[in-house]
Amino acid sequence: MMKYGIVAFPSKRLQDLANTYRKRYDSHYSKITPHITLKEAFEADENEISNISQSIASIAANHAPLNIHASKISSFFPTTNVIYFKVEPTDQLQKIHQDLQQQLNIGKPKHVFIPHITIAQDLTATEHDDIYGQLRMIGVNEQEVIDRIHLVYQLEDGSWTTYETYRLTGAE
């Protein structure tokens, strides 16, 4: 069994911006590129993953490229000390998440779907408060179009790499 997830990677420019914070504040900095999680981690074996991959391909074919707007810096506090770029929750993002969730049938989500790009995690409460206060003043306001999604998997060292990439080619 391997661990997989489905993500959208923002442009290099937005990744670079996220990484200016992540290299200081994110314990997973070296494990995965900045991303928006569309389907959180799940386990699958080699037989299952080819069917899952085909399903993702057909979902991607029904969805247009995603218009995203990283509009502010937010936090999952008090649930966790995670700070992130809030990605405005559009009907489009909600729909692709829903389609992946329903059509893949790989476990119920652990969390409500809140589109975001993590920039800090595994902070102490004090670190969280200090950093969150600073970053909120700086803010973020980036808009762009993401035209592909990725099935990623976890390697033995804990890092994630792309298994397959799917272009979003639908009309809506």
Candidates 97, 116, 128, 150; catalytic one:
116
Q: What is the C-alpha separation between 156 and 162, in angstroms, rounded?
A: 14
- Respond yes or no: is residue 128 known to be catalytic: no
Helix axes 12-25, 125-138, angle to 10 degrees: 150
- Respond yes or no: is residue 35 known to be catalytic: yes
Q: Which residues of 35-64 are buried (b: 16+ CB within 10 A; e: fewer)?
A: bbbbbbbbebeeebbeebeebbeebbeebe
Length of the chain, in residues: 172
- Phi, psi (5° rounding) for residue 56? -60, -40
Candidates 35, 63, 97, 150; catalytic one:
35
Catalytic positions, written as ranges:
35, 116
